């Protein structure tokens, strides 16, 4: 597939096996003049292990794996399809979590970095990068797995799995019973189990977009390295 969204191009013919609602959700392209806006509630969100929360606070990646944890957490998500400064077709997502103590943001940009390969750049400076392996289940759900992660600190490129054994998996689907999207994301570490999670449902709509990322969605720094 030579055109389409980053997910259409990465999945190829498999994209047609997604639930119809997921096909629309993951079809955003830079030339459509619209962005996606979702709102809902996460049943659980954040770091469920109190002993590890100081570690997450110390990570040199802002607006990503925050140390808060809560249940029934209201959230919004904004999805913007665009070209990054290097000409790569990309999708930038900004998620806002409303915890009792205040708001938290999780932001990332997913870019097409090879004809059918996606790299997800996480955090305000996009200095945590993960490969995205996509698959479609028999019932049309999208599964996203991040087996290889690296951290960029200045000129350094540090493979995270070697240091921490982190592994991330997300599953998204359309719930016919509620008429809402559902997403479940888990980050696990070999020794400690689940260290970060968000799991919940949301409604979704489209709004007008002029193709220019708003200031609060523009990262502090773009990352080109793989």
pLDDT score of 52? 85
- Residues 74, 103, 84, CA angle at the centre, nearest 5°? 95
Cβ neighbours of 47 (radius 10 Å)? 22
Q: Read off the pTM.
A: 0.95
- Cα gap 53→46, rounded to integer Å: 9
User: What's the pLDDT at 1?
Assistant: 41
**pLDDT for the residue 164:** 59
Length of the chain: 226
Strand partners, 185: 170, 198
Please tell me the distance from the alpha carbon of residue 7 to that of residue 50, in angstroms, as a whole number. 35
Q: Which residue is listed with tokens 């970060």?
A: 196
Contacts of 192 (CB under 8 A, 6+ apart): 49, 52
* Residue 69 and residue 196 in contact, taking contact as beta carbons nearer than 8 Å: no
Pair 70, 100: CB distance under 8 Å: yes
Q: Can you give the pLDDT of all 226 residues of the chain as single tens digits?
A: 448 999 999 999 999 999 999 999 999 999 999 999 999 999 999 999 998 898 888 889 999 999 999 999 999 999 999 999 999 999 999 999 999 999 999 999 999 999 999 999 999 999 999 999 999 999 999 999 998 889 999 999 988 765 456 789 999 999 999 999 999 999 988 788 899 999 999 999 999 999 999 999 999 999 999 9
Closest CA to 105 of 67, 65, 63, 72: 63
């Amino acid at each position: 597939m030579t055109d389409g969204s980053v997910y259409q191009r990465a999945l190829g013919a498999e994209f047609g096996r997604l639930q119809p609602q997921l096909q629309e959700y993951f079809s955003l392209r830079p030339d459509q003049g619209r962005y996606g806006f979702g709102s809902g509630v996460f049943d659980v969100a954040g770091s469920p292990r109190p002993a590890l929360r100081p570690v997450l606070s110390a990570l040199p990646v802002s607006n990503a794996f925050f140390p808060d944890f809560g249940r029934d957490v209201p959230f919004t998500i904004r999805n913007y399809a665009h070209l990054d400064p290097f000409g790569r077709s990309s999708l930038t997502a900004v998620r806002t979590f409303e915890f009792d103590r205040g708001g938290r943001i999780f932001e990332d940009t997913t870019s097409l970095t090879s004809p059918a390969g996606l790299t997800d750049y996480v955090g305000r400076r996009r200095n945590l990068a993960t490969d995205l392996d996509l698959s479609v289940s028999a019932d049309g759900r999208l599964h996203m797995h991040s087996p290889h992660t690296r951290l960029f600190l200045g000129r350094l490129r540090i493979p995270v799995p070697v240091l921490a054994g982190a592994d991330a998996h997300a599953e998204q689907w359309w719930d016919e019973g509620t008429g809402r999207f559902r997403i479940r994301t888990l980050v696990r570490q070999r020794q400690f189990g689940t260290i970060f999670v968000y799991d919940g449902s949301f409604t979704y709509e489209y709004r007008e977009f002029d193709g220019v990322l708003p200031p609060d969605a523009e990262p502090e720094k773009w990352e080109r390295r793989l």
